Structure 1
Amino acid sequence: MQLNLLVLRAHDPKGLAAFYAQFGLRFVAEKHGSGPVHMASDTGRAVLEIYPCSEKSAHTGGLRLGFAVAELDEHCRALAGGAGRLVRGPRMTQWGRCATIEDPEGHIIDLTELESTAR
């Protein structure tokens, strides 16, 4: 089994897409049938979609995400220095060097440095 779709709900989908673009994700606006316009990024293994909140579809603020990244320190500076918030700075854990960030919509993101770039 492999995860192939993750949907976030946001008050500002375009703003949240701009935040996640800092990871190198490229978003395009999409609309399927009578559904709302939303932002979508194909990572090659999965699609990350950001839909607007609605009465039928509540905000996904309780969702926790994880990304493996090169250059953990640079990502922390860029993401926390922009619209994000650094929750816990880079540290060694049993999974390697990790940090935790909150995106502008309140989703928690765990960043794990790829082993080949860990210091």
Structure 2
Amino acid sequence: MNLSYVVLYVSDLQQSFKFYRDLGFGLTAEQHGNGPPHYSFSVGDLLIELYPAKDKKVSQFRLGIALGNSSPLLQLLDINNEKIVRDPDGNVLHFTKILN
């Protein structure tokens, strides 16, 4: 069994897009049928979708992301072992370096 995707409801879709794009995640614009336009990106095998919250509650989460030695995020975020970053809605992204 594998977790395949997670939907995050964000307060400002464009602000969240810029945040995750600037971290180096490759976001893709999507729209399924008559659903709202949104963005998606992958972390390993997990697809993360960013949807506008509109009348829904903004998602609250803590996401742990392990980075390999070749990840450009290690230098971008100046990560030695770990670093905590908050997205525009205050959600926590906990980056850790995989030690070899």
Normalising by the residue count of structure 2, what TM-score does the alignment of the two structures yield? 0.78
For residue 112 of structure 1, the aligned residue among 87, 91, 96 is 96
Which residue of the partner structure matches residue 59 of structure 1? Answer: 58
**Number of residues of Structure 1 aligned to a counterpart in Structure 2:** 97
Calculate percent identity across the aligned residue pairs.
29
Whole-Å separation in 1 of the counterparts to 2:26 and 2:93? 18
Bigger drift between 100-109 and 14-23 goes to 14-23
Q: 5+ unaligned residues in a row in structure 1: which ranges?
A: 78-89, 92-96
TM-score, normalized by length of structure 1? 0.68
**What secondary structure does 1:59 align onto?**
coil
Q: Residue in 1 aligned with 2:66?
A: 68
Give yes or no for contact 2:6–2:48 (8 Å, CA) kept in 1.
Answer: yes
Q: Indicate how the Cα distance of structure 1 residues 67 and 22 shifts in structure 2: closer, same or farther if over 3 A, else same.
A: farther
Whichever of the two has the greater Rg, that structure is 1
The offset of 1:106, in angstroms, is 0.8
> C-alpha deviations, 1:30-70, integer Å up to 9, x for none?
11122111011244512111000121x2101x211111124
Q: Using a 3 Å threshold, how does the CA distance of structure 1 residues 75 and 13 change in structure 2: closer, same or farther?
A: same
Question: RCO higher in 1 or 2 (8 Å CA, sep ≥ 6)?
Answer: 2
CA-atom RMSD, angstroms? Answer: 2.3
Moved over 6 A (4+): none
3-state SS of paired residue (2:77): helix
Any gaps of 5 or more consecutive residues in structure 2?
A: none
Q: Tell me the amino acid that sits aligned with residue 113 of structure 1.
A: K
